[in-house]
Amino acid sequence: MYPRSFHYHRAGSLKEAVDMLGQLGEGAKPLAGGQSLIPLLKLRFANPEHLVDLNFIVGTSFIREEHGSLHLGAMTRHAEIERSEHVKKIPVLHDCAAGIADVQIRNRGTIGGSLAEADPSGDWANALITLDTTVHCLGPKGARKIALKDFILDAYTTALARDELVTEVEVKAPPQGSGGAYMAFKRAAPVYPTASAAVQLTMEGDVCKDAAIALGCVGLTAIRAAEAEAALRGKSLDEKTIATAGEAARAAADPHPDMRGSADYKRELVAALVRQAIQIALRRARGEQVGGVHLYA
């Protein structure tokens, strides 16, 4: 199927893009990587009157470290993030970027577009919410910063105004002794995960000083598994403790049955993914070089 006709606009700057969105009204949509929007256009699930293309705006794709934080431009492609030496210092982010769909999608999709889409099956929000993440935005009233936990409000719903854009994602570098991991279970590389788990640990010797655990594809937004995190803090991470955290993650999941599996199946899957992600994150926190792993049916 072909999309309905629309007017195409090429923005020369972020401010110009914001102005265009404001002037063109409700029928205007921004175009970033297009890996979510283009399929919706083809299926006619989305029918904008105007598309504002952000791909030719200079300076919107970058990866840099500044003042103890990692800064990612909104138009930075998943593949660029995957290859970045800066990102490899925060393995949970590298795992996420490297496992998104297939190479064609990673070469076009953008981190800003993914967060703005707020797809419950997406990867970035789930990985980033385990870290201290801030989303930079630009609208008619100027720039503002929104903590990621306050940015995604519901499935496909964010704190962005209609004529506001994501400009940058800022991630505070984890402290010394930290390690993370992101794992997803998929039927095949190009499809969305059946379930995913992101884990970020900070160790002090053999004791877990802090933990963040997020669950993806098992709720309307990424779920922070608070009880699972509490099961790890202040404890040595032995097999029993890790199993307890996995069971707490199972209880936190709120999946719906679909073509990928039943609700019970997804809860079982989440518990297994969390256990494996904790084990990998722990080894990385100890300084081991452990490759990221995604599981396929």
Q: Is 27 exposed, middle or buried (0-12, 13-18, 19+ CB in 10 A)?
A: exposed
Number of domains the chain is built from: 3
Range of the domain at 226: 181-296
Given a cut of 90, is residue 154 above it in pLDDT? yes
CA dist 87 and 288 (Å) reads 17
Element (H, E) at 62: none
99 in Cβ contact with 184 (< 8 Å): yes
Is residue 68 one of the residues assigned to a domain?
Answer: yes
What CATH number does the domain containing 122 carry?
A: 3.30.465.10
For residues 227 and 138, membership in a common domain is answered with no
Mean pLDDT of 102-112: 95
Task: Average the pLDDT over each of 147-151, 171-175, 255-259 and give the range with the smallest value.
Answer: 255-259
The whole-number pLDDT of residue 15 equals: 98
Q: What is the pTM of this model?
A: 0.95
Is residue 67 one of the residues assigned to a domain?
Answer: yes
Sheet of 195-204: strand order equals: 223-224, 207-216, 195-204, 178-186, 295-296
What is the distance, to the nearest Å, from the Cα of residue 169 to the centroid of all Cα atoms in its chain? 11
Is residue 58 one of the residues assigned to a domain?
Answer: no
CA dist 91 and 179 (Å) reads 7
Which band of pLDDT confidence, cut at 50, 70 and 90, is reported for residue 292?
A: confident
- 119-149 residue pLDDT tens: 999 999 999 999 999 999 999 999 999 999 9
